[in-house]
Amino acid sequence: MTMTLPFTGERFTTECLGEMVYEHWHRYLIAREQVAGKVVLDIASGEGYGSHLLSGVAASVVGVDVSAEAVAHATDKYSANNLRYIAASCTQIPLESQSFDVIVSFEMIEHIHEQAAFLAEVKRLLKPSGLFIVSSPNRPEYSEKTGYNNEFHVKELDRVELKALLDVHWSSQKWFAQRAAFHSILWPLDAPADSARALAPDGSSAYPAEVYFIVMCSSNASVVTSLPSPLTLVADRENSVYAEWSRTYKENAALHVEIAALKASVAAAQAPALPAPERSWWVRWLSRVTGQ
């Protein structure tokens, strides 16, 4: 029986729902286009789904994670002849120097203080003309503007800080932005799409601010210049994220109605009783003379 890896609130598992599905799969799907026939290392492989996806086209893949529990789970759930997992720190990986064509590491660098040591280890393991693909949340958008504090992140970076770390080892870089967003997709049915635009209702460009960076790095400029620059969308055919948003929206609307009714009921129950209106003098006189 396949073991279950508990969801901690941070490590993605394939049982997760919502925008995390799009974000995490998207990164690996883009990386998959660069690893055909290559020797690949996936640092912070987690549950193992991403390493397994890459192994479908790569010559071989090694997934490394600091969690022995995650490694045991990945080995049990995601097996392939050209795929293996090892437990190790990202700053001390017991593998031979310059032995990988491509190294990927998604949403890991913000979890450690030893960021420079981690990138030095990547440089050691990567072949001289190899490709390193890394992702990282953009601190100003991810946490500063939202006020969100991710307890698992110990050192988030902005673009300048991330670039300064990468510049130490890789002179050639191609940067991409990523953000989950609602959109309307319009695509040709009788031919492949030949361009991509993000439009605002007034026709101007509407690319949003980047929540995550994905950077492709190499010491070989020709490796980076030969990389494509596509705009890609990841969505499931069931539109599960939109369906969940619609369900939540309807539920919230119904709750607002219920809350308003409860507030009105409480207010009515707590309101002081109004005194009876004072009777006019002739009504009081009439009561006395009639005895009523």
Question: What is the per-residue pLDDT across 143-198, written as a single tens digit (0 to 9) for each?
Answer: 999 998 899 999 999 999 999 999 999 999 999 999 988 888 899 999 999 999 99
Same domain, 267 and 123: no
Same domain, 255 and 148: no
Q: Binning pLDDT at 50, 70 and 90, where does residue 141 land?
A: very high
Give domain status of residue 123, yes or no: yes
Same domain, 68 and 95: yes
Same domain, 166 and 52: yes
CATH number at residue 156: 3.40.50.150
Give domain status of residue 5, yes or no: no
Name 60's bridge partners. 39
What token pair was written down for 8?
């901690």
Number of neighbours of residue 82 by Cβ within 10 angstroms = 14
User: Number of C-alpha atoms within 13 angstroms, CB side, residue 106?
Assistant: 25
Report the pLDDT value the prediction gives residue 8, as an integer from 0 to 100.
47
What token pair was written down for 269?
């129950």
> What average pLDDT is seen over the chain?
88
Same domain, 117 and 53: yes
Same domain, 178 and 263: no
Same domain, 111 and 38: yes
Same domain, 248 and 228: no
For the chain, what is the domain count? 2
CB of 212 closer than 8 Å to CB of 243:
no
Give domain status of residue 178, yes or no: yes
Euclidean distance between CA atoms 108 and 9, whole angstroms: 14
Q: Are strands 100-106 and 126-137 parallel, antiparallel or unpaired?
A: parallel
Same domain, 42 and 125: yes
Give domain status of residue 83, yes or no: yes
CB of 86 closer than 8 Å to CB of 61:
no
Give domain status of residue 193, yes or no: no
Same domain, 221 and 77: yes
pTM over 0.75: yes
Question: Residue 252 belongs to what domain range?
Answer: 244-290
Closest CA to 78 of 108, 46, 109, 101: 46
Euclidean distance between CA atoms 28 and 104, whole angstroms: 9
Same domain, 133 and 230: yes
Residue with tokens 């990986």: 93
Q: Binning pLDDT at 50, 70 and 90, where does residue 273 land?
A: low
Give domain status of residue 190, yes or no: no
